[in-house]
Amino acid sequence: MPTSDSAVLINGHTQLVGLFGWPVEHSISPPMHNAAFRALGLPWCYLPFAVRPDAIATALAGARALGLRGLNATVPHKQALLSLVDELTPAARAIRAVNTILFESGRTLGDNTDAQGFVRALHDEGMDPRGAHALVLGAGGAARAVCYALAESGASIAVLNRTPERARSLVAELALQVRASRLSAGPLDAAAVSAGPSPDLVVNATNVGMWPQVNASPWPDDAPFPPHALAYDLIYNPCETRLMATARAAGARAANGLRMLVHQGAASFALWTGIEPPIEIMLGACEHALRGDEHATLHDRG
């Protein structure tokens, strides 16, 4: 099968998919998906579309009319699409965001693949979240997806946020939508991260530490990092965050969020095509794109 890095050939047989966002110029979704299409010899092409917030409904109707097979969505459209699609998957409904759309049989399905991508990324790190105790730092959209994934996997979760009310609200809402799981909320401070059982997993679902604020960390400076935990930072630019460095210095394992983002993209790919994509080729395309653009993003996590 072809694996060339040459441009995708576009003709009357090409099946189009793409990304709705505002902005989209630094997204690395196009090289990621187009590399997988080339590797599999599929006559598909993934394009970025800059869609103004006030034009999302028109753009969605236009994509359907033009025969696109599917879309990804990033900021600021994930929540707006909840009310514009014909059907929502349980994940999209629970996470309250749509990041993947499938056009099929005249209907529009809204899905969210972030939770699936997160669990697959944990498996890549040799971690099964079943029965694990997790600390999730942050209470925004990314944290909601992570908590949904962990709760569905049977983990116990403590959501910690600098504004504790947001953490409590997230826990209360998720408790109504996910399978039985131990959910708690609290402030993001030294006392809270040190309370209770030692965590198996610490997830940074905030933007703290993202480029260009590379010296920032959500982990309290006066709290020791648990040495037996996996630190999973959803940030992937920089590839080694301060949180990850803190974890490694304590003897813990650490990983950034690039594989999660690749896996959530792969889940979208499989939904559209019915084919499991080549993960390592997608990952390599992302790494190559990141080396060329320090501002690059894949999909918004929040």
* Residues labelled catalytic: 78
User: And the tokens for 54?
Assistant: 């006030």
CA distance 174 to 51: 30
Contacts with 142 (C-beta within 8 Å, 6 or more apart), sequence order: 114, 205, 206, 234, 301, 302
Instruction: Yes or no: say if 117 and 264 are a contact pair by the CB < 8 Å rule.
Output: yes
Give just the sign of the alpha carbon dihedral 37, 99, 85, 59.
Answer: negative
Please report, in angstroms and rounded to a whole number, the separation of the first and last CA atoms in the chain: 36
DSSP string, 205-232: -SSTT-TT-TT--SS-TTSPPPTTSEEE
Q: Which of 72, 130, 122, 109 is nearest to 266 (CA)?
A: 72
